[in-house]
Structures are given as C-alpha cells and as structure tokens.
Amino acid sequence: MNEEQFLRHLAERGIELSEEQIRQFRRYYELLVEWNEKMNLTAITDRDQVYLKHFLDSVSVAFRTPFDGKLTVCDVGAGAGFPSIPLKICFPELRVTIIDSLNKRITFLNELGTELGLDGVRFVHARAEEAGRNPEFREAFDVVTARAVARLPVLAELCLPLVKEGGRFISMKAAAAEEELDEAQFAVKTLGGRLSDSYSFLLPVEESERNIFVFDKVAKTPKKYPRKPGTPGKQPLVR
C-alpha cells in the first residue's frame, strides 16, 4: 500500500490528513527504519508494508470506534508506537500515554515524539502491572489500547485496571481470535469490563483478517488486580 492508497483509504472513512500530518507519517517511517538498524523495533521495514501493516492497521481501530476529541488514551506495550502514534497523528487532540517495559523503546519513542512535533504525549517505562497499581495511572484513561501484546485473558488484567469507569478497553487481534474472546470472559467480568462490540475485517491488499474487541468499563477493578508483574501471564484469570 503506497502513500496515495493509504491517504485514499483514510479519506473514504472520513479521515482527511493535512500536509503536516502526511509529513509526520513520512518522517515516522524514516525514523522507524533508521532506529531499527540499532534495535529490534519491527520485522517490517518495506515502505508499502509499513503503511499497510503498521499505519493503516493502527488507524483502523478508529473506523468504527470514535477517537475524535480530547480523549486520554493509554497504549500498553506499544513497541514502536502502534497503534497510538498513528492515531495521535490522525487525531491531534488525543492525549496519549504509552507504557512499555523496555527502556530502549521508550528512548526511540521520545525521539519520535520530538521529531514529529507531537504535543500531549508521554512515554512511561514500566510494566503494565506496575502502572495498574500506580494511583497516577489506575482507572485514569478514557481508552486503553493493546495490539497483539498477549492473549486476551492476560491483556484484560494488564489493561482494564487502567480504564476509568465509563471508558473503553480496545484489543486488536489478528485471525482466529474468537477462541481468545471466549477464554477471556471470566477475566473481563472479574476486572469490571463488558464486551460492547466486536468486529472482523480484512486488511486491504493482502486480505489478512483482523479482529477488534471493544470492552466497556462498567465497574471498578477490584483492588487486588493487577497481580504482581509476570503473574497474569503465568496464571491467567480463567475459569
């Protein structure tokens, strides 16, 4: 997917980018490739593939769920900034916090934010379990996103404690995600969430399946969650 196709695909969904936003995506690609030579940020470095599998895939979460306005967004385990930085470029009013456990990635993200001239972004070096117990972050965000970080029962425990009541947790998955959704029902309910929307679509060009699950935060997360770092992955909340 070249830049023109990317812009056309967004425009068809009501997302019109300015010249400055187009420049930000171009510079994002350049920095991603440049820094990828120093650290492992992504296996995808071909320009057309980055625009499709990283940029468009990230923004696709906004095709059905609104992201306009001054929402506070927390991205858990964003790696090289996906999906939150493409969303921030498209919707500049978003206030974005990225939480990542690898300090080298935080260094890249700080440089990226400066180079792109992004306001209202912060990058936090922490485990999600630690952030979920930190009063600064616990139940503090309108939207929490995660893109292929872990299986859904684990993700629920990492993300839902960060979502304020009335907010949303959005999980982005590839193919065959229904099994994970079934597996996560107990965890989601225990942590104060409720599934409000789920949808599948095919990423254009390569026609690969994507699944997006939207959970509303309908009750406070019990104080004992999230458990200590590493525990959710080793002992997921399942029946």
Is 166 part of any known ligand binding site? no
**Helix (H), strand (E) counts: the chain:** 11, 7
Is 55 part of any known ligand binding site? no
Q: Which three-class secondary structure state does DSSP give residue 98?
A: strand
Helices (DSSP H) in the chain: which residue ranges? 3-12, 19-36, 47-49, 57-59, 84-90, 103-116, 128-133, 152-159, 178-183, 185-190, 231-234
Which has the closest alpha carbon to 110: 16, 35, 222?
35
Is 138 part of any known ligand binding site? no
Is 128 part of any known ligand binding site? yes
Is 180 part of any known ligand binding site? no
Q: How far apart are the first and last CA of the chain?
A: 42
Please state, in angstroms and as integers, the Cα–Cα distance from residue 72 to each residue in 28, 33, 51, 84, 156, following that order. 22, 28, 25, 11, 18
Q: Which residues define the annotated binding site for S-adenosyl-L-methionine?
A: 77, 82, 128-129, 147
Q: Which residues define the annotated binding site?
A: 77, 82, 128-129, 147
